[in-house]
């Protein structure tokens, strides 16, 4: 299985809602990532988990809360978002972080709209 | 910002023609990767070239790397309509070993 899955595909939420994005991989990868991508822009790194521990937080606002329950799962909890948080949220995984093993496998993304 | 720059921003060609995209980056790297993204979907890894390599091929793809100029190019030969996508270079900076920093991207349109 060489696939990264993400659910849901689309999410519409109000600014007072709490929702979660989910990501799963079964490739035995030990690094997992969350990216945010606005239209016609490159992906921007948000968080990196390495061996289930948060290793990079790119100064992301606290209304985004990542969680890595186990080596296959990655969640992104959303609370009190703003309309400018509307974007495509991409999950990725890699065999390890850094060096030549850092080819990343991406999920299809969750298209988030904040009203 | 570490972000790389790509040019052109957009490229429109006919099927069968070759497409060349260029990437410039700012820091010393371990490797450089190219990804493709179809509209509104996830990225697909195309090819990785290490900092001690100068050229690499994969099918219709040819990537070059010039570390002295901090630049790379991606050549797609005999393009097809299915190659229509955005293409991003991404660098694995030696100082931020866990991070990939993506370039600004080139939007390629291949017309039948």
pLDDT for the residue A95: 86
Percent of chain B with pLDDT over 70: 92
| CB contact (8 A) between residue B30 and residue A43 | no
pLDDT in tens, A25-56: 999 999 999 999 999 999 999 999 989 999 88
| CB contact (8 A) between residue A43 and residue B45 | no
Which of A55, A100, A109 lies at the smallest CB-CB distance from B98? Answer: A55
Residue A110: its H or E element: strand A110-114
pLDDT for the residue B45: 94
Cis amide bond preceding A113, omega within 30: no
Chain B residues whose beta carbon lies within 8 Å of the beta carbon of residue A48: 98-99
Q: Please give the average per-residue pLDDT across B69-74, as a whole number.
A: 97
Q: Give the chain A residue whose CA is nearest to the CA of B85.
A: A40
Instruction: Tell me if A93 sits within 8 A of A4, measured CB to CB.
Output: yes
pLDDT for the residue B99: 79
pLDDT range class, residue B52, cuts 50, 70, 90: very high
- pLDDT beyond 70 at B98: no
């Amino acid at each position: 299985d060489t696939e990264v899955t993400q659910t849901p595909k689309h999410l519409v939420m109000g600014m007072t809602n709490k929702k979660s994005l989910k990501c799963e991989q079964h490739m035995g990868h030990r690094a997992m990532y969350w990216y945010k991508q606005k239209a016609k822009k490159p992906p921007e790194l948000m968080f990196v988990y390495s061996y289930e521990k948060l290793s990079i937080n790119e100064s992301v606002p606290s209304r985004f809360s990542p969680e890595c329950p186990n080596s296959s799962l990655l969640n992104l909890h959303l609370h009190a978002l703003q309309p400018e948080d509307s974007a495509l949220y991409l999950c990725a995984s890699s065999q390890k972080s850094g060096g030549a093993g850092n080819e990343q496998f991406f999920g299809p993304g969750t298209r988030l709209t904040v009203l | 910002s570490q972000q790389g720059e790509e040019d052109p921003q957009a490229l429109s060609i006919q099927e069968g023609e070759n497409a060349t995209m260029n990437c410039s980056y700012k820091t010393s790297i371990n490797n450089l990767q190219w990804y493709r993204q179809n509209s509104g979907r996830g990225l697909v890894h195309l090819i990785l070239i290490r900092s001690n390599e100068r050229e690499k091929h994969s099918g219709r793809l040819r990537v070059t790397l010039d570390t002295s100029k901090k630049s790379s190019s991606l050549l797609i030969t005999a393009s097809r309509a299915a190659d229509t996508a955005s293409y991003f270079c991404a660098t694995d900076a030696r100082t931020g070993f866990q991070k990939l920093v993506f370039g600004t991207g080139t939007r390629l349109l291949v017309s039948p």
